Amino acid sequence: MNMWGYYNNMVSSKPAPPVMNQPTPFSTQVVSHLASHYSLLNQENQYGSWAIQVSPSDYFSVVSDLKSRHQFTMLTDLCGVHYVEPEPVLAVVAHLHHLPERSRLFVSVHLPIDNPSIDSLVSLYDAANWMERETYDFFGIIFKGHPHLVRILNEDSMTVFPLRKGFPLEDSTRDDKDDRMFGR
């Protein structure tokens, strides 16, 4: 196949850019198709992109469907969030992007905080490798099937997960800061 011909004008030949804060008809159709096959725990329009929440057991199949059947070929990002209310959960949000249709879709899954473990997307998207390592490094979420799940940004000897709420921002071993100057 002529690579030049296939990818050239893949994106910019489509006519109209999306209207601000309104999901594209394409993504609305994709979401309703997913809703008929899986149970979506939550679905909301986040400033122009649909954000769906699925259960941990459906997560891999939903993303796999989105990739193979609906051609969401790019995994833009994958990050974690620590929610403390109403009950403490760790969420994983995968941002998917359909380039020619200019549609984004956010797939999130909520995991219990004492055993956060979810399937890895590395077999679908190579980009998920370091994204999941970063999420593990920050939140402690275990990705089953990840080839090399070790810390990436923090030191290897760190035992806690710093981006969880409750972990202090500043280095607690410092002894040279005068509390009176810092308003504490």
Residues within the interface to other proteins (CB under 8 A): 3-4, 6-12, 17-18, 20-21, 46-47, 49, 51, 73-77, 79, 81-82, 93, 95, 99, 102, 104, 106, 125-127, 129-131, 134, 138, 151-155, 162-163, 167-172, 174, 176
In order, the DSSP letters of 8-69 are: TTTTTTS-PPPPTTS--HHHHHHHHHHHHHS--SEEEEETTEEEEEE-TTTHHHHHHHHHHT
User: Closer CB to other proteins, residue 19 or residue 36?
Assistant: 19
User: Closer CB to other proteins, residue 10 or residue 35?
Assistant: 10
Sheet of 42-46, strand order: 42-46, 49-54, 103-112, 89-98, 74-83
